[in-house]
Structure 1
Amino acid sequence: MIKKTSLLASLALLAGGASLDAQAAETDLLGYIPANAPYFMATRETLDQQEVFAFYQRTMLLGDGLERDLEALREQRRNEPNEQAQAFLSLVIALGEEFEDIDTLEDVHARGINVSPNVALYGLGILPVMRFELEDDAAFRDTFERVVERAGLTPRIGRVEGTDYWRITPEDDVELILAIVDGQALVSLIPGDASDELLAQILGKRLPDESMEESGEIAEIERRYGFTPLGTGQIRTARVLSELGSPRHPATRALLDALGEEPLDLTACQTDIDRLTGRFPGLTVGSRAYDLRGRSEVNLIVQTDEEVVRDLRRLVTPVPGLGQRDGLASFGLGLDLSVLLELVDTYARQIREAPFSCDDLQQLNTLWDETSALTSDPMAMMIAPALSGLNARIDRLYLAKGGPMATGLLTLASSNPMTLLENAAAFLPELSELSLMPDGEPRRLKSRQLPAQVSTLYAAMSESALALGVGLDDPSTLTNGLQAPVADDDLLLNIFATGDLYTALADLLIKSPQEDVSEEDIAQLKHYGEIYDSLEVRVSVGDEGLETSFAMDMAD
């Protein structure tokens, strides 16, 4: 039996994904998105539904997790004083209960749901609207009515220009609605007193003067960043702030009125806002790879101006082994601390010389003052000149002498490894007795400060790094680690874990039980070990700004 653990899982299922067998299917959903929308996310292609369902079957958590999650939600609902929040929790619980007994794709279709729909999430002004394609309108209507009845909700039905919609949550300043329109489900927040004219725009009875379909902007973003057509979006900071300050869309004005909020008074802040949005124009998201049977990758780009890109690139420093997919897991950081302290001081000085004048931005002035104080911290000043990056690799996890033990390699990059060695000796004095030379030759270190589980500890040094190896069978591993390749891109941060790490953690917990770890937790770790070959997070500097990628490789 498949278990559905939350509404987020439902939305993730609806959003679908991509694979090498993606079916090109140009969607008309883009026609509803205004070309000047402050934010949007949309797909232009879909997947084979059976493939998506098979992926869903494989990756869902096992055991009694759903029942436990539902009971936790029920307890949260019992303690929730807000009526709107109670209604939403009831809806989530009822949705989870609806999907308890799904075994086949036909079971999903019987509920009217397409497991690989085209999806669009966008702003009419700042008001959010979400649309996704359905498998069967009538079946979905039955499912919706069943869920809200189980949730104890009584939606109020409205009609605009021949289209029905449901106000799901209780009467309030802002309400949640759902409609079924032209083979699509539409979900949106609306002001409680929304006019028929505004509702007609939300429901798509009034199309924008120019749409994303007409502008072709989403396809252009895909081309520009090398994204697949399986989900691309942006948040445009200048348009969001402009809409909040000088609302142009009636949906924004109506929503602010419903909340009793005035538009932001940006008259005195426009210069500050232009300064910020010029430096950080927006956020872009998409995927450069998406194969449900192989590798999938979601990319997030914080767009910055050219000066910030140049400064970010100055932070990048080569670290042996950083970004290599070795061992059970690794964590690495290639960040020149001396340059970081210099840049913090430079930007703080710029803020002091030209502070933000807007009242709403005074916290930024204070933040930079506080951050600048770190540059004079004695510990930072001691470490920064000697340490420019690190890479910690775990090769093995096991139980030794009653406690958990890890073997692996820690590589500390430095432009002055002798100074780094002196600093490290302050924490582990025996290092100074090894007489290390920058020749990569490993030497064994013995210390009473080491835990009893540590069988061996070796150290070695090159002209650009210091390496420490714990529990290694072959000391030459340190020499190889010092000579390991560096990243061929401007990599700042890398986190890598194999499926075997989850298996090793599960085995460790079985042999050394913990009070706060249940059998189900261990089963979930084993499940992750079976389905994932690896998971990886990379943060690097690209031509457009700071890029973060979240990658997943499925096991065979």
Structure 2
Amino acid sequence: MPRFIKRTLAASVLLGLTASCTQEAEPPEAGLLQFVPAETPYVFVTREKLPDGLRDKLGNYYAAQLASQRKIFASVREQIEAEAAGSPESEKVAKGFDILDAILSEFEGHESIEQVRELGLEPAPRSVIYGIGVLPAMRVEISDAAKFNAMLDRVEQKAGVAADRAKAGELEYRRIDMGPVDAVLAVTDQYAIAGALVDSRFDTDLPLLLGQSAPEKTLADNGDIKALTDKYGFVGYGEGFIKVDTLLSIALGKATGRNAEIMKALQPEPVPMSAGCSALTEGVVANMPRMVAGITEAKDERMVARFTWETSPVVAEQLQKLAAPVPGVGQPYDGMMSVGVGVDLPQLRNGIESLLRYVMNNGAECEWVDKDEIQQAIPQLSMVFGPMTAGVKGFNLQLDELTLDPQTMMPTDVKAGLLAAVDDPRGIFAMGAMFNPALAALDVPSDGTFVDLPPEVGIQAPMPNVKVAMKDQSLMLVAGNDSTSVAQSMLDATPTTPAPLMVFDYGIHKLVEKFGGLVEQTAANMEASGDAAMAQEMRTQLESFRMQAQLFDRVRVSVLADKQGLTMDQVMELR
């Protein structure tokens, strides 16, 4: 995708965060989707108002985030402008940053939902972001048109930008020259409207953007969003898709209709890819054509989001074969942090081999493909994923407590456990004994009884009181002076169905409370030693985590394969 389009999409997302939701009645049945062309290559729509309690929580969180972004943005701007210095685009980049800086300056000091409402908007809106062709458009409900327009006036003044004013019928809009395209901003009693239109289609597409003419067919007409919500259980608080195959085709110069005119006007740099490599890439993407995302649960104390990269049935079947059940992975957890992975390595080898053979068989005309190298690489897969690793299914690491020495940053106490799911735990242990004679002298029963690892093994320091056990197809390690509860958790663990490929579960509030002071001290030490830039970056990251900890108690991210493709579920427990 051309750089201009990527920058414009990013700017649209930022503008979407600044828009607001109304206190008026709900939109009609077609709602925001009545403005969206059915052929849009991407869309994300929030059709329903969030429950009041959750809306206030998210509103305050987003307000605090926006209020702090200008400082973070300044350091990013400095880096990007340094990279762009001397280039033909440097002046445009600087002007774009001036506008973004002016927008962010409006949110400084507005750290609550009440303060953001003073700007005529709210940070948790009903909204839609979509494409008129490939170019972005958005429509967001507002609560006070006069206040919002006043903010736009201040942004223009601060940024040194004088947008042209014009009218379409009775609706006034702002037009900002951005080269081959123009940005358009308009405000109605109900909506803030923004989009990018190429000059050659401006008069044709402006009524479409402003809602003064209807698309020939809309997303409300074709039922795509309804089908999406029915299929994935989205609940109206945010859902959408990106057609990866369509965007790739446009980027490769195969656009048609409106998009062909847009790309002609943009005159993007050609993608450096031969016809053979283009065909190969399109073939790969045809098996993973669309990404979808949405909210599946939204309550005062909990939100759940789902992201799925849809694949062909053949690829989905292969992905599902990768999952290996590991006791405990995917089960509820309330400690400090856990990480679990379950992958069938022989199936992973088979999947990589299938992909390599597809590339070899379909990439004969692609200069990137070296058939001889691929043919040599395929047998080596059996060496990488050979008998020594074939029985290893994954692991589950739980870290309940951790205390670090502030001077050395080494652990002084820990409560943690590691379960390795293996077909033959006795054999794996014996293999370790070949490299460490101290293990050979250790008698570990197979009934789950934990045995102390002697210091001679060499892993006691700095970890205190390490024990090992075996049970069924699990090899377990626990560490800490009070590891009884962890040990019992490991022994009682059972696999979940369907088995996830990976789970990352962390109590962000616990982590910030435990290590926030330590990070501050480390940053101070770094600053004292002369590394002020790194110290500031560390403080910025800590501030971001602290903001998250005010909203989130814990977050769990699970990756699994299902009949739709590759799915990531994110469960957010709120404070």
TM-score (norm 1): 0.84
Alignment partner of 1:381 is 2:378: no
Task: Find the counterpart in structure 2 of residue 322 from structure 1.
Answer: 329
Alignment partner of 1:548 is 2:548: no
Alignment partner of 1:333 is 2:321: no
Distance 1:64-1:289 versus aligned 2 partners, 3 A rule = closer
In the alignment, which of 386, 401, 410 is matched to residue 404 of structure 1?
410
Give deviations 1:39-64, integer Å, cap 9, x for gaps.
Answer: 21112212367853443325665999
Query: Residue 386 of structure 1 contacts residue 419 of structure 1 at CA under 8 Å; is this kept in 2?
Result: no
Task: Find the counterpart in structure 2 of residue 342 from structure 1.
Answer: 350
Distance 1:345-1:83 versus aligned 2 partners, 3 A rule = same
How far off is 1:469 after superposition? 1.0
Between 1:305-314 and 1:262-271, the stretch displaced more is: 262-271
Task: Find the counterpart in structure 2 of residue 173 from structure 1.
Answer: 180
Aligned equivalents of 1:472 and 1:14: distance in 2? 52
Tell me the SS of whatever aligns to 2:410.
Answer: strand
Structure 2: give runs of 5+ residues left out of the alignment. Answer: 1-10, 527-533
Give deviations 1:110-149, integer Å, cap 9, x for gaps.
Answer: 4232444321111222222122122222322211011121
In the alignment, which of 43, 47, 50 is matched to residue 47 of structure 1?
50
Query: Residue 118 of structure 1 contacts residue 133 of structure 1 at CA under 8 Å; is this kept in 2?
Result: yes
The structure carrying a bigger helix percent of its residues is 2
Describe how 1:291-440 pairs up with structure 2 within 5 A. 291=299, 293-324=300-331, 325-352=333-360, 354-356=361-363, 359=366, 362=368, 372=378, 375-376=381-382, 378=384, 380-381=385-386, 383-400=388-405, 402-405=408-411, 406-425=414-433, 430-440=438-448
Task: Find the counterpart in structure 2 of residue 123 from structure 1.
Answer: 131
Give deviations 1:40-90, integer Å, cap 9, x for gaps.
Answer: 111221236785344332566599955642542564576353222212211
Between 1:329-338 and 1:235-244, the stretch displaced more is: 235-244
Tell me the SS of whatever aligns to 2:392.
Answer: coil
How far off is 1:282 after superposition? 1.1
In the alignment, which of 497, 502, 506 is matched to residue 512 of structure 2?
502
Query: Residue 453 of structure 2 contacts residue 460 of structure 2 at CA under 8 Å; is this kept in 1?
Result: no
Task: Find the counterpart in structure 2 of residue 19 from structure 1.
Answer: none
How far off is 1:13 after superposition? 5.9
AA partner of residue 573 (structure 2): D
Give deviations 1:377-409, integer Å, cap 9, x for gaps.
Answer: 55x436521311111110111035944324300
Distance 1:49-1:132 versus aligned 2 partners, 3 A rule = farther
How far off is 1:280 after superposition? 1.5
Query: Residue 502 of structure 1 contacts residue 528 of structure 1 at CA under 8 Å; is this kept in 2?
Result: no
Describe how 1:17-28 pairs up with structure 2 within 5 A. 26=29, 28=31
In the alignment, which of 155, 165, 172 is matched to residue 157 of structure 1?
165
AA partner of residue 479 (structure 2): V
AA partner of residue 387 (structure 1): V
Aligned equivalents of 1:177 and 1:444: distance in 2? 69
Distance 1:476-1:91 versus aligned 2 partners, 3 A rule = closer
Structure 1: give runs of 5+ residues left out of the alignment. Answer: 1-5, 17-21
Task: Find the counterpart in structure 2 of residue 140 from structure 1.
Answer: 148
Aligned equivalents of 2:565 and 2:373: distance in 1? 22
Query: Residue 313 of structure 1 contacts residue 490 of structure 1 at CA under 8 Å; is this kept in 2?
Result: no
Distance 1:429-1:24 versus aligned 2 partners, 3 A rule = farther
Describe how 1:83-102 pairs up with structure 2 within 5 A. 83-102=91-110
Tell me the SS of whatever aligns to 1:299.
Answer: strand
Query: Residue 25 of structure 1 contacts residue 46 of structure 1 at CA under 8 Å; is this kept in 2?
Result: no
Task: Find the counterpart in structure 1 of residue 5 from structure 2.
Answer: none
How far off is 1:494 after superposition? 0.1
Distance 1:46-1:525 versus aligned 2 partners, 3 A rule = closer
Aligned equivalents of 1:476 and 1:76: distance in 2? 48
Give deviations 1:24-47, integer Å, cap 9, x for gaps.
Answer: 874532111112222211122123
AA partner of residue 510 (structure 2): D
Task: Find the counterpart in structure 1 of residue 7 from structure 2.
Answer: none
Aligned equivalents of 2:66 and 2:187: distance in 1? 34
In the alignment, which of 185, 192, 201 is matched to residue 192 of structure 2?
185
CA RMSD, aligned part only?
3.7
Aligned equivalents of 1:223 and 1:126: distance in 2? 26
Tell me the SS of whatever aligns to 1:276.
Answer: helix
Between 1:399-408 and 1:228-237, the stretch displaced more is: 399-408
Distance 1:25-1:327 versus aligned 2 partners, 3 A rule = farther
Alignment partner of 1:218 is 2:218: no
Aligned equivalents of 1:389 and 1:99: distance in 2? 46
How far off is 1:289 after superposition? 1.0
Task: Find the counterpart in structure 2 of residue 34 from structure 1.
Answer: 37
Aligned equivalents of 2:78 and 2:108: distance in 1? 19
What is the percentage of aligned positions where both structures have the same residue?
A: 23
Task: Find the counterpart in structure 1 of residue 558 from structure 2.
Answer: 538
Distance 1:24-1:191 versus aligned 2 partners, 3 A rule = closer
Between 1:93-102 and 1:243-252, the stretch displaced more is: 243-252
Task: Find the counterpart in structure 1 of residue 473 from structure 2.
Answer: 464
Task: Find the counterpart in structure 2 of residue 487 from structure 1.
Answer: 496
Give deviations 1:294-319, integer Å, cap 9, x for gaps.
Answer: 11111111111222222222111111
AA partner of residue 98 (structure 1): E
TM-score (norm 2): 0.82
Query: Residue 158 of structure 1 contacts residue 165 of structure 1 at CA under 8 Å; is this kept in 2?
Result: yes
Between 1:468-477 and 1:343-352, the stretch displaced more is: 468-477
